Amino acid sequence: TTTSPKNSIAVTFHLGANRLTFDALYNTRPIIKDSPMQFLLHGDSIRWSDMDIGKVSRTSWQQFWKPVWGERKSMPDVYNQTDISFASQDSPEMEIILQCRIYEEGFGFRYHIINYGSSDHITIDEENTYFRFTDNHISYPVPRPQAEYTGKCNLNAVDYPVEHPMTIKISDTCYVSLTTANVVNYSRVKYEPVINMPYTFKTKLAGPVKRKLPFTTPWRVMLIANSPGQLVENNLLSTTSIHRTK
The Cα 131–Cα 204 span in angstroms is 12
Whether the pLDDT of residue 131 is over 50: the answer is yes
pLDDT in tens, 189-224: 999 999 999 999 999 999 999 999 999 999 999 999
Task: Transcribe 114-158 into DSSP letters.
Answer: EEETTBSEEEEEEEEEEEEBSS--EEE--SSTT------EEGGG-
Least confident of 38-52, 60-74, 110-124, 172-186: 60-74
Most confident range, picked from 65-69, 120-124, 238-242: 120-124
SS3 state at 26: strand
The residue type found at 62 is Q
Q: Is 199 left (phi over 0), alpha (psi -120 to 50) or beta?
A: left
Work out the percent of the chain whose per-residue pLDDT is above 90.
Answer: 69
Looking at 19-33, 78-92, 103-117, 162-176, which range is the least confident one? 78-92
pTM for this prediction: 0.92
* 52-104 confidence digits (pLDDT tens): 899 999 999 998 877 777 777 888 889 999 999 999 877 678 999 999 999 99
pLDDT for position 236:
84
Q: How confident is the model at residue 243, as a pLDDT?
A: 55
| pLDDT recorded at residue 67 | 76
